[in-house]
Amino acid sequence: MSTFLENLPHAVEAKVHSRKGREEKVLIQVATDMAGEDRFDQRWLVVTSKRLMVLAPNGASGDVEFALQAVKSARIEALVGGGRLELEHEAGAPAHLYYSNSLAAKFAEVAEGIEQLKEGQDLNLPLQLDRTHCEQCQRRLPELGGICPVCIAKFDTFRRLVGYMLPYRFRLVLLLGLTVFSSLLELAPPYIVKHLIDDVLVPGTAANLLYWLVGGLFLIGVVEWGVGVVRRWLNARVGFRAIEHLRTDLFKALQYLPLRFYDKRKVGALISRMNNDSEMVEDFLLFDMPYIVSNAAMIVGILGLLFYMNWELTLYVLAPVPPIVIGSSLIWNRLQRFWGRWSARWSRLTTHLNESIAGIRVVKAFAQEHRESERFDQRNHALRQISVSAERSWLVFFMVTNFFMSFGGFFVWYFGGQQIVGGDLSLGELMAFIAYLWMLYHPLKWFGDFYSFMVRAFAGAERIFEIVDARSEPFDNPSAQRAPAIEGRVAFEDAAFGYDPGKVVLRDLDLVVQPGEMIGLVGKSGTGKSTLINLITRFYDVSHGRLAIDGIDIRNIRLRDLRSQIGMVAQQSFLFNGTIAENIAYGKPGATFDEILRAARAANAHEFIVKQPDGYDMVVGEQGNKLAGGEKQRISIARAILHDPRILILDEATSSLDTPTEKKIQEAIQRLVKGRTTFAIAHRLSTLRSADRLVVLDAGKIAEIGTHEELMAREGIFYNLVTTQRETSAVMATSG
């Protein structure tokens, strides 16, 4: 069943069949979860090829129907906690469908679909939307389209974590063998103590046997120490390498994920997965997993010895175990939910910390230190609350577990004491039994602690695997065509695109750009200039229509071949915290110093670089903060020159610069654009005079195309923009 063709209840289905004609085709049928602004109930929207119906599941109250041709508009409006779809039509008052926030994305697409049908276009809706609730338990997901921490298969998570250790099979098998051996070795001392009491201390004889028994205890202690050292070394080698590979997979996944993924997530939340989540997994691999094996071996060995020594007392020892196991199973899901929420709230705290530090200049400029501190306190308080709730649940379980465990000791002392009095049990056997009892309860108690640690680790691992498993950009698409040397012909054919469902930014885009042509993109803010650039670089794919490079659909070109031949100079040039030479050579890592030098000269950057104390070896600082804006811009241009792209993108490359610096950058750009297909966005329209054609965008569509002179002569949108800019500059010059 399609996302927008949901299963109708029988009552609604009967209404639809009674109202639509035999030849009518149902195009959309979706349910809302609210019947008004403040009442949760179901309503159905059914759109056919001829009519539009709003139907209630029971009765005819509130049903609305009108012809599809009568629709004037379909638009969504955000409300507190939800939204509404407004359907304006010629037959009467607008119809409204209310929905909660969980259905906002779906109804945004529905609104766009109705607009398509209203315009006589074919219905074109996405096949899948990001999920807001778990499909199994219907709980709200911590993140849009993410995983449900309750329903995920725990064994699969455990198996994947173990998979990171399998490349070191020999060391892993040796580690497991030593762990089991060490656990079984610990069972020997109580048995030796039994013989010390029964065969040496109680009779008061056999001094030679005392020597051998004590010597045996000493030897066991030395062997345990040696095995422990080797185990710790092997565990560190295997565990740290496993977590290294896990972090590598996570970072690679983050590198290859599309920009649309980052649009929905905050940087701090992603950094939290690399820091906190991977740290919890690391602790699990290094400390918890070895104890699983050792304690499991210990429990099996102790139970075997206890049953061998006295099966009746062993049953008394095991009496508290069933309540402990039942309590553990009951608290598992509760703790899983708590630690899933803990991870989400920690991500929000990290996000706020990242934003406040990155924007510290803005915070101080507006004297908002106190406000940011209050916001941090709110997130910190929320994190503390969920931590306290989780620890409270765990503490209750822990105290109840200890209470039940104490009964085993009472039983053994009482019934064991009776057997000693009756001559059925020796004192040494009872003391060994008591020692094994607490050796048995210690692993059981640890498994209780282990629940808490494992739940945290699994919650962190699931969040990491969510990123690792996310769909990456199609770099390795085997069906993609090789394009080692593109010419630079760019063609938009009836293309459309929107970042969010139902909100189209570009529509009906038809544009053909010849190789070597320079195109200036003009329009008010929000008209789609940067969006058009994002489509050419394939940061996003067109929603409808086609974008072709050299006659090949851009989606069928090898992504690596495409981007390796596209260069970009943005308004805010991003530099890495390396040397100037490394930043210039970023797009061509194997570049020689002579090539770097020629690129810097062509970008008018060599002059200021050689004035630096370290010249080309100067470290530019984080995001290039040791350089001025014009200097960073010229290094960015040098980087593009050395990259030698076939398609060049200039996004406000000369914005907000002083006149002498802008002149130098303009000279560098003129050298850069020669022989390349160029798309330029400029704040100052006068800088686009050298463009072969100007493309004026308005409301997401191409409004005008022509040269600077042609558009000025037409006296349309471009003429008005230039005139307004001139008048504004004149006023500022006069007031200055």
Q: What is the pLDDT of residue 142?
A: 60
Say which range, 163-167, 596-600, 606-610, 686-690, has the weakest mean pLDDT. Answer: 686-690
Comparing 141 with 93, the larger pLDDT belongs to 93
Task: Give the long-range contacts of residues 42-51, CB within 8 A, separation 24 or more.
Answer: 43/97, 43/98, 44/8, 44/9, 44/12, 45/85, 45/97, 45/110, 46/8, 46/12, 46/16, 47/113, 47/114, 47/117, 48/20, 48/24, 49/24, 49/25, 50/20, 50/21, 50/24, 51/19, 51/20, 51/24
| Segment 233-242 mean pLDDT | 86
Q: What is the pLDDT of residue 593?
A: 92
368: Cβ–Cβ under 8 A, 6 or more apart, which residues? 362
Q: What is the pLDDT of residue 535?
A: 93
**Closest listed residue to residue 28, CA positions, set 47, 41, 52:** 47
Sheet of 40-48, strand order: 26-34, 40-48, 51-55, 64-67
Residues 691 and 678: their CA atoms lie apart, in Å, by 9
Q: How confident is the model at residue 1 (pLDDT cuts 50, 70, 90)?
A: very low
Q: Which domains does the chain have, with CATH numbers?
A: 10-118 (2.30.29.30), 154-469 (1.20.1560.10), 483-565+690-736 (3.40.50.300)
Q: How confident is the model at residue 510 (pLDDT cuts 50, 70, 90)?
A: very high
138: Cβ–Cβ under 8 A, 6 or more apart, which residues? none
* Neighbour-count burial of 601, counting CB atoms closer than 10 A to its CB (0-12 exposed, 13-18 middle, 19+ buried): middle
318: Cβ–Cβ under 8 A, 6 or more apart, which residues? 408
For 170-209, write each residue's pLDDT tens digit.
888 898 888 888 888 888 888 888 777 777 777 766 667 8
Q: What is the pLDDT of residue 205?
A: 65
Say which range, 258-267, 481-490, 644-653, has the weakest mean pLDDT. Answer: 258-267
Comparing 667 with 646, the larger pLDDT belongs to 646
Sheet of 677-681, strand order: 566-570, 647-651, 677-681, 518-522, 693-698, 701-706
Longest dimension (CA), the chain: 121
| Segment 360-374 mean pLDDT | 76
Q: Are 319 and 411 in contact (CB under 8 A)?
A: yes
| Segment 208-222 mean pLDDT | 83
Say which range, 221-235, 335-349, 557-571, has the weakest mean pLDDT. Answer: 335-349
439: Cβ–Cβ under 8 A, 6 or more apart, which residues? 186, 187, 190, 298, 302
Distance between alpha carbon 125 and the CA centroid of its chain, in Å?
25
What percent of the chain has pLDDT above 70? Answer: 85
DSSP state of 167: G
Q: What is the pLDDT of residue 59?
A: 64
For the stretch 15-44, what's the b/e string if a residue is b when 16 or more beta carbons lie within 10 angstroms of its beta carbon? bbeeebeeeeeebbbbbbebbeeeeeeebb
Written as one string, the DSSP assignment of 46-57 is: EEESSEEEEE-S
| Segment 687-696 mean pLDDT | 86
Q: What is the pLDDT of residue 523?
A: 87
For 95-130, write each residue's pLDDT tens digit.
888 888 878 878 888 888 888 788 777 776 665 566
Q: What is the pLDDT of residue 491?
A: 94
Q: Are 461 and 161 in contact (CB under 8 A)?
A: yes
90: Cβ–Cβ under 8 A, 6 or more apart, which residues? 66, 70, 72
Q: How confident is the model at residue 352 (pLDDT cuts 50, 70, 90)?
A: confident
| Segment 334-344 mean pLDDT | 69
Q: Is the pLDDT of residue 655 over 70?
A: no
**Closest listed residue to residue 708, CA positions, set 700, 719, 698:** 719
613: Cβ–Cβ under 8 A, 6 or more apart, which residues? none
Comparing 355 with 554, the larger pLDDT belongs to 554
Residues 535 and 546: their CA atoms lie apart, in Å, by 10
Strands 677-681 and 518-522: parallel
Q: Are 676 and 645 in contact (CB under 8 A)?
A: yes
Specify which of 289-293, 357-361, 408-412, 645-649 reaches the highest per-range mean pLDDT.
645-649
Say which range, 226-230, 386-390, 598-602, has the weakest mean pLDDT. Answer: 386-390
Residue type, 137: C
**Closest listed residue to residue 554, CA positions, set 567, 568, 535:** 535
Written as one string, the DSSP assignment of 379-422 is: HHHHHHHHHHHHHHHHHHHHHHHHHHHHHHHHHHHHHHHHHHHT
Residue type, 12: V
Q: Name the token pair of 647.
A: 């398609």
Average pLDDT, the chain: 81
10 Å Cβ neighbour count for 614? Answer: 10
Q: Is the pLDDT of residue 715 over 80?
A: yes
110: Cβ–Cβ under 8 A, 6 or more apart, which residues? 4, 28, 30, 45, 74, 85, 125, 502
Residues 731 and 530: their CA atoms lie apart, in Å, by 29
| Segment 367-395 mean pLDDT | 80
Q: How confident is the model at residue 472 (pLDDT cuts 50, 70, 90)?
A: confident
Q: How confident is the model at residue 547 (pLDDT cuts 50, 70, 90)?
A: very high
| Segment 282-308 mean pLDDT | 80
The angle that helices 659-673 and 629-643 make with each other, rounded to 10 degrees, is: 10
Residues 430 and 419: their CA atoms lie apart, in Å, by 9
**Closest listed residue to residue 237, CA positions, set 194, 316, 175:** 175
Q: Name the token pair of 131.
A: 């999920």
Lookup result for tokens 């596209």: 566
Residues 634 and 664: their CA atoms lie apart, in Å, by 9
Q: Is the pLDDT of residue 695 over 80?
A: yes
| pTM > 0.85: yes or no | no
Comparing 343 with 245, the larger pLDDT belongs to 245
Instruction: State phi, psi for 96 to the nearest 5 degrees.
Output: -125, 135
Residue type, 220: I
Q: Are 663 and 677 in contact (CB under 8 A)?
A: no
Q: What is the pLDDT of residue 581?
A: 92
